[in-house]
Amino acid sequence: MNSVIGDALLVAKKDLMIEFRTRSAFLSVVVFALLGIVIFYFAWDSTAVAASDLAPGVLWVIFTFSGLLGLHRSFGVEHAEGAIDGLLASPVSREAIFLGKAGANLVFVLAVQAIAIPAVSLFYNLPLGGVALPLAGIAILAAIGLVAVGTLFSAMAANTRLSELLLPMLSLPFFVPIVIPAAQATAKLLSGRPVVDALAWLKLLLAFDLVFVFACMLAYPFTLEE
Amino acid sequence: MNGKSVAAVEADSIARAFGARRAVDGVSLRVHAGETLALFGPNGAGKTTLLRLLGGLIRPTGGNASIGGQKVPGGPEMRRQIGVISHRTLLYDALTPRENVEFFARLYGVASPREAAVRSLEQMGIADRADAPVRSLSRGMKQRVSIARATVHNPKVVLADEPFTGLDVSGARALSRLLGDLRESGAALLLVTHNIDEGLSLATHAAIMHQGRLIRSGERASIVASEYANEYRDLVAAGE
C-alpha cells in the first residue's frame, strides 16, 4: 500500500523527468522571464524611479506571468495521449496527484526564480548580498501559493478548448493575495529595511499559502469530474 | 454473465447522460472471474462510455456498478483491481516504455517494479525497445507498451477498449495469449471490439450494444459466429 506522500513523490518525479527530457517549457519560460526583465529595463527611467522601488514590481510581474506559462504545461502532458485516464484509473489518490503535480511545478517555478532574481539584481544594480536569504524565503513562500492555485486551475483548464485563455483568467484573481504581500516584503528588503519590518507581510503570505494549499487540494478531485 | 457468487464486474441499470444524450441507458451485466465478455456495437453505441463508467473514470447518472463487490467509482482498493486498456495509449511520450510501465507498477504497489516492468514488456514482445522514447515508436508498438502498462499489476478485471488497435499479427497474438493467461489466472475481461471473429475467439460471453443499451447477450457456446456476424452487420446497417 502506497502512502499519499509516496505517490505524490512518484508523480512529481515523473513530471520532472518529462520536463528534464523535453526542456521545452523550462527554456521558453526562462527566455520569457529574461526578455521581460530586459524590456522593463529599457522602459525604466532611472531618474524618475529608484531601482529599489521598481525591482520588486518587475520581479513579481515576471514571476506571475512566467509561472502561468509554465503551469499551463502541467496537465498538458497528461492529456496528450490520454495518460490522465491511466493515472486516474490507478489506485493513486487524487490528493497525491495534486500534491505531486504541485511539487513538480514548485521545483519548476523555483528554478525559474533562481535565474530571474540574479538577473534582476544585475540589470537594476541591486546587490543581494545581505538580503539573498530572506529574499529566497519570500520567493519560496510565494511560489508555494502561486503553484497551488496554478496547479488547480491548470487541471480545470487543460480539458477545455480555451485553456490558454482560461488559466490566466481563473488564476490571476487568486494570485493577487499572494503577489501583494510578496511584492511588499520584497520592496522592504530591497530598500534596506530589516527583515523584521517585512514580517507582517510574510505572515500574511504564509497564511494564504496554507489556505490555498489545503483548499486547492480539497477542490482538485472535483476538477476531474466530467 | 451467470448468476453464481459475487461477480467481478457487475452493472445494474447503469446509465450515463451527457446533457440530453443518454450515452449509456440502463445497462445491466455481470462478468465473473475467469469469464470474458466481448462487447460489440456500432460507433456511438456507448461501449467506451460503459467501460469508463466501470473503470470509475466517470460517474453514472443512474443505476450502479461494482468491481469485485466494491461500488464504482470507488477508492484505491477498487481501482487496484482494474487494468484499463484504451484505444488511446495512455502513455507519456517523453518517457521510455520501461519508465512508463515502471511508473505505473510503482503506483500499483507491485513488488520489484523494475523487474515487473521488464517482464510485462517481454510478454508483449517489446522488450528490445524498452529504452527508446515512446514518441519514437510506431502506433502498434505503443499499443503493446500500453497493454504492458495496463497489465503489469496482474489485474483481476481488465477493461479493454479496442485493444487490438494498431497491432500487427504478432502483437495481436501476444495480446490474445496475455488475455488468455489473465483469464486462466481468474481475471474477468470485458473486451470492446468491432472485430466479431477476434472478439468471439476470446469470449466466454458476448453482447451487442446499440444506442446505449444491451440489445443481445448470451454465452459464447450458444453463438454461431457467422450468424452473429451477419446479425451484427445488419444491425449496424439498420442504424445508418
Tens of pLDDT along A146-176? 999 999 999 888 878 787 888 889 999 999 9
Q: Are B147 and B189 in contact (CB under 8 A)?
A: no
What is the full per-residue pLDDT of chain B (240 aa) written as tens digits?
544 567 899 999 999 999 889 999 999 999 999 999 999 988 889 999 999 999 999 999 999 999 998 998 888 889 999 999 988 899 999 999 999 999 999 999 999 999 999 999 999 999 999 999 999 999 889 999 999 999 999 999 999 998 888 888 888 888 888 888 888 899 999 999 888 888 888 899 999 998 999 988 888 888 888 888 888 888 777 765
Kindly state whether residue B188 falls inside one of the protein's structural domains.
yes
Q: Both B161 and B146 in a single domain? A: no
pLDDT at A110: 94
pLDDT at B226: 81
pLDDT at A222: 86
β-pairing verdict for B9-18 and B21-31: antiparallel
Contact A88 B57 (CB under 8 A): yes
Contact B109 A77 (CB under 8 A): no
**Closest approach of chain B CAs to the CA of A33, in angstroms?**
25
**B133 class by beta-carbon count within 10 Å (0-12 exposed, 13-18 middle, 19+ buried):** middle
Cα A6 to its chain centre, rounded Å, is 23
ipTM: 0.87
Which amino acid, one-letter code, is at B217?
Answer: S
User: A93-107, A197-211, B217-231 — which is least confidently predicted?
Assistant: B217-231
Which of B109, B131, B154 is a domain's end point? B154
Q: Which residues of A touch B82 (CB under 8 A)?
A: 89
**A214 class by beta-carbon count within 10 Å (0-12 exposed, 13-18 middle, 19+ buried):** exposed
CB of B21 within 8 Å of any CB in chain A? no
Collapsing DSSP states into helix, strand and coil, what is residue A34?
A: helix
**Closest approach of chain B CAs to the CA of A78, in angstroms?**
7
Kindly state whether residue B88 falls inside one of the protein's structural domains.
no
Residue A226 has pLDDT above 70, yes or no: no
User: A18-32, A123-137, B175-189, B224-238 — which is least confidently predicted?
Assistant: B224-238
Q: Are A140 and A110 in contact (CB under 8 A)?
A: yes
Kindly state whether residue B169 falls inside one of the protein's structural domains.
yes
User: A20-29, A135-144, B114-123 — which is least confidently predicted?
Assistant: A20-29
The CATH number that applies at residue B61 is 3.40.50.300
Contact B106 A10 (CB under 8 A): yes
Q: Both B26 and B65 in a single domain? A: yes
Q: For residue A130, which phi and psi values (nearest 5 degrees)?
A: -75, -20
Which of B154, B180, B197 is a domain's end point? B154
Q: Both B149 and B162 in a single domain? A: no
> Which value, to the nearest 10 degrees, does the dihedral of the CA atoms of residues A137, A138, A141, A146 take?
-140
Kindly state whether residue B223 falls inside one of the protein's structural domains.
yes
**A110 class by beta-carbon count within 10 Å (0-12 exposed, 13-18 middle, 19+ buried):** middle
Q: Both B77 and B164 in a single domain? A: yes
Q: Both B56 and B166 in a single domain? A: yes
pLDDT above 70: percentage of residues in chain A? 99
pLDDT at B1: 53
Kindly state whether residue B3 falls inside one of the protein's structural domains.
no
Q: Both B110 and B65 in a single domain? A: no
- Which chain B residue's Cα is nearest to A86? B90
pLDDT tens digits, one per residue of B160-206? 998 888 888 888 888 888 888 888 899 999 999 888 888 888 899 99
Contact A82 B90 (CB under 8 A): yes
Q: Both B122 and B177 in a single domain? A: no
**Closest approach of chain A CAs to the CA of B230, in angstroms?**
34
Residue A224 has pLDDT above 90, yes or no: no
**What number of C-beta contacts closer than 8 Å exist between A and B?**
80
Radius of gyration from C-alpha coordinates of chain A? 18
pLDDT at B82: 95
Question: Which long-range contacts does A194-203 make (Cβ < 8 Å, 24+ apart)?
Answer: A195/A134, A198/A134, A198/A138, A202/A137, A202/A138, A202/A141
CB of A207 within 8 Å of any CB in chain B? no
Q: In the structure, what pLDDT confidence band is assigned to residue A1 with cuts at 50, 70 and 90?
A: low
pLDDT at A223: 84
Q: In the structure, what pLDDT confidence band is assigned to residue A128 with cuts at 50, 70 and 90?
A: confident
Q: Residue ranges per domain, chain A?
A: 4-223
Q: Both B60 and B178 in a single domain? A: yes
pLDDT at A111: 93
Q: Both B64 and B168 in a single domain? A: yes
Q: Are B114 and B130 in contact (CB under 8 A)?
A: no
A223 Cβ contact partners less than 8 Å away, ≥ 6 residues apart: A152, A155, A156
CB atoms under 10 Å from CB of B64, counted, come to 14
Q: Which residues of B touch A82 (CB under 8 A)?
A: 86, 88-90
pLDDT at A127: 81
Helix residue spans in chain B (DSSP H): 47-54, 76-80, 97-107, 113-123, 139-151, 169-184, 196-202, 225-239
Question: What is the tally of structural domains in chain B?
Answer: 2
Q: Both B166 and B69 in a single domain? A: yes
pLDDT tens digits, one per residue of A53-83? 889 899 999 999 998 888 888 888 888 888 9
- Cell reading at B77: 482498493
Query: Range of B40's domain?
Result: 9-81+155-239
pLDDT at B80: 92
Q: Both B73 and B164 in a single domain? A: yes
pLDDT at A25: 84
> Which value, to the nearest 10 degrees, does the dihedral of the CA atoms of residues B53, B58, B59, B61 take?
-80
Kindly state whether residue B63 falls inside one of the protein's structural domains.
yes
Q: Which residues of B touch A221 (CB under 8 A)?
A: none
Q: Are A141 and A209 in contact (CB under 8 A)?
A: yes
Q: Are A186 and A132 in contact (CB under 8 A)?
A: no
Q: For residue B208, which phi and psi values (nearest 5 degrees)?
A: -115, 135
User: A22-31, A107-116, A117-126, B225-234 — which is least confidently predicted?
Assistant: B225-234
Kindly state whether residue B2 falls inside one of the protein's structural domains.
no
Of A81, A87, A225, the CB nearest to B88: A81
CB atoms under 10 Å from CB of A116, counted, come to 23
Which amino acid, one-letter code, is at A82?
Answer: G
pLDDT at A79: 84
Q: Both B138 and B170 in a single domain? A: no
Q: Are A21 and A110 in contact (CB under 8 A)?
A: no
CB of A7 within 8 Å of any CB in chain B? yes
Kindly state whether residue B1 falls inside one of the protein's structural domains.
no
H or E element at residue A104: helix A94-123
